[in-house]
A and B are shown apart, each in its own frame.
Chain A
Amino acid sequence: MARKLLLEHINVPGINTLDVYRQKGGYRAVEKALKTLSPDEVVEEVKKSGLRGRGGAGFPTGMKWSFLAKPEGVSRYLVCNADESEPGTFKDRYLMTYIPHALIEGMIVSSFALGANTSYIYVRGEMMPQIRILEKAIAEAKNAGYLGKNILGTGYDLELYVQPGGGAYICGEETALLESLEGKRGNPRIKPPFPAIAGLYGCPTVVNNVESIAAVVPIINDGGEEYSKIGIGRSTGTKLISASGNLVKPGVYEIELGLPVEEFIYSDEYCGGIANGKRLKATVAGGSSVPILPANLTLKLANGDPRLMSYESLSEGGFATGTMLGSGGFIAFDEDQCIVRNTWNFSRFYHHESCGQCSPCREGTGWMEKVLHRLEYGHGKMSDIDLLVDVSKKIEGNTICPLGDAAAWPVASAIRHFRDEFEWHVKEPIKCLDTNYGLANYAEPIAKVEVTTGN
């Protein structure tokens, strides 16, 4: 069995309560950090651990912390990003539902490291049940003296609040999240200044994902160096993977980074293979924003080596033959799924969720949705396929925030790897309405992969 750091006690009855969580070693990290370490030493441990942001970007957490400005007499804030909305990702919901104190404990240690005396957990509004769970956990922690004034007699004060969002994917972008937390529309800010200099209320702020903050707990308990020994290369530690789609056992799994993708999909310890005895057609490995890969490139690199679940291995080959680990939202498509339909679905999502600030994204996502809709419903032209590529290229890199890229990549990658399926929709406008292109040449296509550079 692989090592589990976050979900080790997930099946213990009552682990959502403070008492049971403490019996299982909970809040040791708070005791250790506040009583024996200085804030800078905590930052140092996190740096040593090699922990990378678990929300999707994979930026080293310790480094992000060390950028935080510390002007005299100005409040600093830690904001937890629990606006989990990336299609295919549901790990944060799982963690907050079943083991909320892991997040609370992480928030206390991280706030202490950053010198924040007020911290917020911004939870997407639809997760009202999780908001109630967190509020209850915070009340328990406060009663036990882990929150409030003079925590454990160390002189450190911290107030922790839960903030509900209003249902907007864009608020997962950290500056949009801060705007939203200030009671405004979720329009991302132009950077610089980065939140580390001017974030919430113009004060220095760190925004971290739920899983990143929860991972600080084992890092402090066991030391950053121990943590960095888990995983592979620069992908250290464990990662929560949300597995969904046509799998025998969809759900949240904690893996050691470096696990072969094949083992993750097919072994009984994890997803247990493709549901209903079907074959795998394609996967989206890191949430809807990352490039889709056909089955062959999911399991193996272009050179035939096995692909691993790590930041580096998943992005091996660039966008020509690779993808990204992203948020760890692993979506599997079986042989009966239509790539055109799914691409249209994702495009509709990004069109719906574009905040409307930048015209390439506001207009471009709408065009892509429209063109994909007509391809899906048999009204497309051959030239539409290149038109889509053209539009996606004009969005990518031309917007304030990464939502534009996130909208462009799924479309560009679907056409890159599944162009014949798009062409089939044009050639067979009637047939495509009630049949699917199927697996076609993706069953054994590893030999067919032509590696081209760039897009």
Chain B
Amino acid sequence: MLKVEQQQPVAFSSALIVKCDEIVKRYPEGKQKSALLPILHEVQAELGWLSDTAMDKVAAYLNILPIEVYEVASFYSMYFLKPQGKYMLEVCRTGPCCLVGAEKLMKHIEHRLGVKEGEVTEDGLFSWRGVECLAACGYAPVLQIGPEYTFYENLNEEKVDELIQDLRKR
């Protein structure tokens, strides 16, 4: 049977609308579609992920078709099309990081959190995934956590354990 997921309606905060209004002003008249990527970042920062209803709202706001939002959101790797843990640990898995132990680190994170790549821990706090080069190869291994994309560099297993504990306490 076809399963149609009922998505909850979403509301954008007034602060988010103000931010969007400010972003749109950066582009020439009629080129408001340029605001799509930055606005999707703002929406994801507020809601945690991009639901269909959230994307439809963005389309209406920018006066473009919903498909124009979907095709962009699904192209770029930073946008989450399903809910994630509150803290998404994104570990760089590309060459230079692997030379200094990124793969071992990902195994450790999987073991420590008890969930596979892309899954969410039961308490809803954590997810993790491998991502491609984060342009911090000299400080490898590295991971980042959105929505502000704070960087954690020169990692080892102890540092990751500490980080996870700190995040739990927040």
CB <8 Å contact, A165 and B95: no
Which of A101-109, A119-127, A257-265, A303-311 contacts the other chain? A119-127
The CA of A389 and the CA of B15, in the complex, are separated in Å by: 54
With A128-B148, A186-B75, A288-B95 in contact, is A166–B135 under 8 Å at CB? no
CB of B91, distance to nearest CB on chain A (Å): 12
Alpha-carbon distance A340/B43, docked complex (angstroms): 41
A181 within 8 A of B: yes
In terms of DSSP, what is the predominant structure of the interface of chain A? mixed
Are A183 and B94 also in contact (CB < 8 A) when A87-B133, A128-B149 are? no
B136 within 8 A of A: yes
Q: A168-B75, A244-B96, A331-B96 are in contact. Are A90 and B136 (CB under 8 A)?
A: yes
What separation, in Å, do the CA atoms of A86 and B137 have in the docked complex? 10
Given A90-B135, A90-B137, A349-B133, residue A167 in contact with residue B78 (CB < 8 A): yes
Mark A324-347 against chain B: 1 for CB-CB distance below 8 A, else 0.
000001010100010001100110
Within 8 A of B (CB), among A221-271: 242-246, 250-252
Count of A interface residues, CB-CB < 8 Å:
57
Asked whether, in the complex, the Cβ of B76 is within 8 Å of the Cβ of A345, the reply is no
Within 8 Å of chain A (Cβ to Cβ): is B140?
yes
**Nearest A residue to B45, CB-CB:** A128
Query: By the criterion CB–CB under 8 Å, are A349 and B96 in contact?
Result: no
CA distance A169 to B144 in the complex (A): 17
A-B contact pairs, 24 of them (CB 8 A): A120-B26, A125-B37, A126-B134, A128-B147, A129-B149, A129-B150, A161-B26, A166-B41, A167-B131, A168-B77, A182-B31, A183-B37, A183-B72, A184-B68, A184-B72, A185-B75, A186-B75, A201-B31, A243-B138, A244-B140, A246-B99, A337-B99, A342-B99, A349-B95
Given contacts A118-B28, A349-B132, 10 further A-B contacts (CB under 8 A): A129-B149, A163-B38, A166-B76, A183-B33, A244-B96, A245-B96, A288-B133, A333-B99, A342-B95, A353-B132
Q: Across chains A and B, which 10 residue pairs bring their CB atoms closest together, nearest first?
A: A166-B76, A244-B137, A167-B78, A183-B36, A183-B33, A128-B149, A167-B77, A250-B138, A244-B96, A87-B133
Which residues of B are in contact with A by a Cβ distance under 8 Å? 26, 28, 31, 33-38, 40-41, 62, 64, 68, 71-72, 75-79, 93-96, 98-100, 131-140, 144, 146-151
Chain A positions near chain B (C-beta within 8 angstroms): 75, 84-90, 92-93, 118, 120, 124-129, 159, 161, 163-169, 180-186, 201, 242-246, 250-252, 284, 288, 329, 331, 333, 337, 341-342, 345-346, 349, 352-353, 355
